[in-house]
Amino acid sequence: MHEKINERVDVITIYRKIGAISMPYKLRWNGRDHIIKALGYHHKVKEGKTIIHIFSCSSDTLAFRLRFNSDTLSWILEEVLDGASS
């Protein structure tokens, strides 16, 4: 199942010097905290001059698509997936 969310969420990020990667570490959505265990893919999208970072990441049970606007420094949870057929 996957669900489009498109809501602003609280996110804590972490920077790892090995690999020079910045990535979400924890996000709070619907009153629950989700620890990010793996970053599946990170890519950038240009919306005009603004660079948007898309983080496709997962906790133990769910996968998230998070959108970071480098202009406004805001995080949006775009989508949540659990890997089951909808």
Partner 1 sequence: MELHLNNNRPHLMHVDLNSCFATLTQQAFPPLRDKPLVIAAYAQPNGCIVAPSICAKKFGIKTGMTVREGRLLCPYIIVRTPDPDLYRDAHMRFRKIFMDYSNDVTPKSIDEAILDFSEMMSTNLDLVRIGHEIKKRIRSEIGEYVSCNVGIGTNMFLAKLAASLNKPDGLDIIEAHNLFDVYNHVSLLDLSGINTRFQARLNMAGIYTPMDFFNAPREKLQKVVFKSIIGSRWYEKLRGYEADEKNYATKSIGQQYAMRIGTADPREIGRIMMKLTEKMGRRLRRQHYTSRGIHVWCMYRDYSFWHRGRTSESEMYTTPELYRRAMLILNQQPEKKIITKIGVATYDLAPYLSDQLTLFEESFTKERLVADACDQVNDRYGEFTIVPGNMIDMDDVVLDRIAFGGVKELEDLYASETVSTKY
Least distance CB 18 / partner 1 (angstroms): 13
Binding positions for partner 1, 7-46, rule CB under 8 A: 38, 40-41, 43-46
Q: What single-letter DSSP state applies at residue 37? A: -
Token pair 């990170």: residue: 42
Q: Is 67 in the site for partner 1 (CB under 8 A)?
A: no
**Contacts for 71 with CB less than 8 Å, ≥ 6 apart:** 50, 51
Q: How many residues bind partner 1 (CB under 8 A)?
A: 25
Nearer to partner 1, 9 or 39 (CB): 39
DSSP secondary structure of 5-32: EEEE-EEEEEEETTTTEEEEEEEEETTE
Q: Which residues here bind partner 1, judged by CB under 8 A?
A: 2, 38, 40-41, 43-50, 54, 56, 58, 61-63, 65, 81-86
